[in-house]
Copies of this chain bind each other. A is one copy, B any other.
Amino acid sequence: MAVLNERKQKILHAVVTDYIQTAEPVGSRTISRHYQIALSAATIRNEMADLEELGFLLQPHTSAGRIPSQRGYRFYVDSLMDTVQLGKQEENYLRRVFTQLKKMREINQIVQQTAKALSVITRYTSMVLAPQLKRSAFGQMRLIPMNEEQALVVLITDTGYIKNKVIDMPRALSQEELDRIVSFLNTELSGLTISSLTPSRLRKLRRDLYKQVDILDSLFAMLEECSGQQENKVFLGGTSNILDQPEFKDMEKVKHLLTLFEEGEKLSVVLEGAGEGISISIGTENVINEMSDCSLITASYSLHGRPIGRIGVLGPTRMEYARVVAIVEEIVKHLNNLLCSL
């Protein structure tokens, strides 16, 4: 891939930033006027024709200005994008939100409210992958009998995440029997990550506890379920914000996206896919078809230094990358801090 000379980079930068602001194809005149490029429109036209040939720009039709191609955005994000400082207002808003959130205890709620704040401040749609059980370590487990046939299992991870599940008891067990089972499991499993609770490992445990086998089936079924990926909850915020984007004035597109928003499973796949740091996927780089007009900026958040979920912003490919990256980074910092203090 030929590297672009400085002038082409400047022009590409100008096209991208202008188009991000206006959502209108950018003409050569606009660039020579509004950006500090001491060149005439004609020269810029030539350069733009080159950029188009190289695949960084697109022309919606012959007599229109240029818009960035997906490749154009990619180059902008990788090499051209300036880092942006948060505004005073935004900083204050975040500070206020997180002081409020400090009062909350439930991690899911905190994360959900964070998503909301993220959508408010970015004016895009936000998505959060809720804390994933399987990334945590086993903490302790309790059994609470509810009646003759059922008991409530409470599983607490080392990260303070709590999961309930009602299970059937094949026969009534005395409190002592239950206590024995539970304390055995607690010592055996303590500190293991949930995802390491593979069926084979559970089978081994079962042999050791052979005498109380009936209830174990139910208990193990629950543990297995936890180590599976069932638990990938996704919260959304600001879904109506997409309607403000001119690229979504087309009902069909909106419909596709809204439908996607209802499919938590699909969304969680997208969010899980990325690595650990901040990640930007543009247009068709997203695996999901419905998102081929969108870009997604995500980052992991952590509890006690261990990444347990992801938070991100979904917008049109024409998204204000620089601003959103700054905001996401800042919000993750806040969120990590807050979660640590729980």
Contacts and interface: CB of A to CB of B under 8 A. Distances in A.
Interface string A164-177: 11110000000000
Nearest to A107: B166
Chain A interface mostly: mixed
Interface string A203-230: 0000000000000000000000000000
Nearest to A259: B240
A152 interface: yes
Contacts of A249: 251
A238 B261 CA distance: 10
Contacts of A160: 146, 166
A239 B258 contact: yes
A239 B262 contact: yes
A244 to B, nearest CB: 8
A182 to B, nearest CB: 11
Interface string A99-110: 000000110000
A244 B251 CA distance: 9
A193 to B, nearest CB: 18
Interface residues of A, number: 30
Interface string A249-264: 1010011001101100
A234 to B, nearest CB: 14
A256 to B, nearest CB: 8
A68 interface: no
B243 A255 contact: yes
Contacts of A259: 240
Contacts of A154: 142, 144, 152, 154, 164
Given A146-B156, A156-B146, A249-B251, A262 B238 contact: yes
Interface of A: 105-106, 139-140, 142, 144, 146, 152, 154, 156, 160, 162, 164-167, 237-240, 243-244, 249, 251, 254-255, 258-259, 261-262
13 contacts: A105-B166, A106-B164, A140-B144, A140-B146, A152-B154, A162-B166, A238-B262, A239-B258, A239-B261, A240-B259, A240-B261, A240-B262, A244-B255
Given A139-B146, A240-B255, 16 more contacts: A106-B164, A106-B165, A106-B166, A140-B144, A146-B160, A154-B164, A160-B166, A164-B164, A237-B262, A239-B261, A239-B262, A243-B251, A243-B254, A243-B258, A249-B251, A254-B254
